[in-house]
Amino acid sequence: MSDCTLIREQMPLLLTESLGSAGREAAHQHIEACASCETEWSKTRETWKLLAEAADRPVPTRVRARFLDEAASMGGAMSRRPVVVPFTRKPVFRRLAQAAAIAVIAGGAYFAGSTRGTTPATGTGMIASASPAPQFRISENARLSADQIAPEIAGSPAISNVRFIDHEGRPGEVGMTFDLTQKVTVTGKATDQSLVNLAAYVLGDSDHPTTSRSNAIQWVRDTYSTGQTADPQIVTALSGVLRNDAHEGVRLKAVETLGSLPAASLGGAAAQARQALIDALQNDPNTNVRLKAVEALANLAAVPDGFDPAAVETLRKKASQNDENPYLRVKAAEALSQMNL
């Protein structure tokens, strides 16, 4: 192999700064001395630059499907392939190479997962971390380094919306982003912050109603209605549901749950709950939601220092409002009569 051939093969590595310092120095010295290689190097750099500026187009569905199928069928052999993507100036080849790299990761993950047995018993599909004590983060866009992912894919996770991404400033790296539908079971104490956060997120996630919100509210009510487990975050989430959900039944459950939470243990969140209830009492179009808001406000006021002037005024106005439901008016009056004003 001539020096020029060797240097031209190393150009992708040179671009991605993957060569060692000695190799990099030798390559640059050759390019400076060789006119043809200098021309080739200029073209390579220009192409690389254009590729970086080009829009990221999704891979055609059939190509993507083929790679995913191959990834699923490759098994363990793939895991031993190097996770290095050779550079090519032809975009289509580069894309294919990127996809192949992902296939390597995915296939390797599948293989390792099938042998290491790190999948939770309840999981049907899971990309498991190979780290000794992994901390799984639930986020909108989880970013994982390939070398931190166990090379197994357990079960048959539904991978969708696959897109391939460029190096993002880190030459030599490629990436793949996708939506992964997997069953995750999180267990722990109700007071574990991760569970609290999850419950609050599910309650507030109106963009992705992947679960029945009313079911979530019922679970929250069953779980967090004791003095030991009530959490301000839950109050925040329920308040959001009460204010924003378009469906009466869901708001009804939210207001009932707010009313069932132990007022004495809410601390600063009691004010937030109270304000959400006041808003509901003033503005909610559904009579029963307003009715439940009255009961919940009375519940909040029943604890020491639970008195709130705004709540009293709202209840007073409701009780006196001629066009309000008469039963609700009486309930508001009853709530006021029981308050320790």
Residue of 61, 145, 187, 210 interacting with another protein (CB under 8 A): 210
Residue of 129, 214, 225, 275 interacting with another protein (CB under 8 A): 214
CA 164, CA 58: separation in Å to the nearest integer?
A: 7
Q: Does 339 bind another protein (CB under 8 A)?
A: yes
CA 75, CA 107: separation in Å to the nearest integer?
A: 5
Residues 6+ apart with CB under 8 A from 105: 83, 146, 149, 151, 176
CA 92, CA 252: separation in Å to the nearest integer?
A: 55
Q: Does 289 bind another protein (CB under 8 A)?
A: yes
Give me the least distance between CB of 231 and another protein, in Å please. 24
Give me the least distance between CB of 164 and another protein, in Å please. 21
Q: Does 244 bind another protein (CB under 8 A)?
A: no
Retrieve residue 129's tokens: 């971390």
Residue of 249, 264, 265, 275 interacting with another protein (CB under 8 A): 249
**Contact between 231 and 267 (Cβ < 8 Å):** no
CA angle 88, 73, 186 (to 5 degrees): 105
- Output b/e per residue, 99-130; b: 16+ Cβ within 10 A: bbbbbbbbbbbbbbbbeeebbeeebebbbbeb
Binding mask 168-207 for another protein (x = CB under 8 A): -------------x--------------------------
Residues 6+ apart with CB under 8 A from 288: 248, 252
Residue of 86, 134, 209, 227 interacting with another protein (CB under 8 A): 209
Q: Does 247 bind another protein (CB under 8 A)?
A: yes
- Three-state DSSP at 206 gives coil
Q: Does 291 bind another protein (CB under 8 A)?
A: yes
What's the first-to-final CA gap in the chain, in angstroms? 94
Q: How many residues of this chain bind another protein (CB under 8 A)?
A: 43
Radius of gyration of the chain (CA): 30
Q: Does 141 bind another protein (CB under 8 A)?
A: no
Q: Does 61 bind another protein (CB under 8 A)?
A: no
Give me the least distance between CB of 282 and another protein, in Å please. 16
Give me the least distance between CB of 155 and another protein, in Å please. 15
CA 135, CA 28: separation in Å to the nearest integer?
A: 43
Q: Does 155 bind another protein (CB under 8 A)?
A: no
Retrieve residue 152's tokens: 């197994």
Give me the least distance between CB of 288 and another protein, in Å please. 3
Q: Does 336 bind another protein (CB under 8 A)?
A: yes
- Three-state DSSP at 214 gives helix
Span from 50-58, 65-73, 167-175, 303-311 in contact with another protein (CB under 8 A): 303-311
Q: Does 223 bind another protein (CB under 8 A)?
A: no
Retrieve residue 272's tokens: 């937030």
Binding residues (CB under 8 A) for another protein: these are 158, 160, 181, 208-210, 212, 214-215, 247-252, 286-291, 304-305, 309, 312, 315-316, 319-320, 322, 325-330, 332-334, 336-337, 339, 341
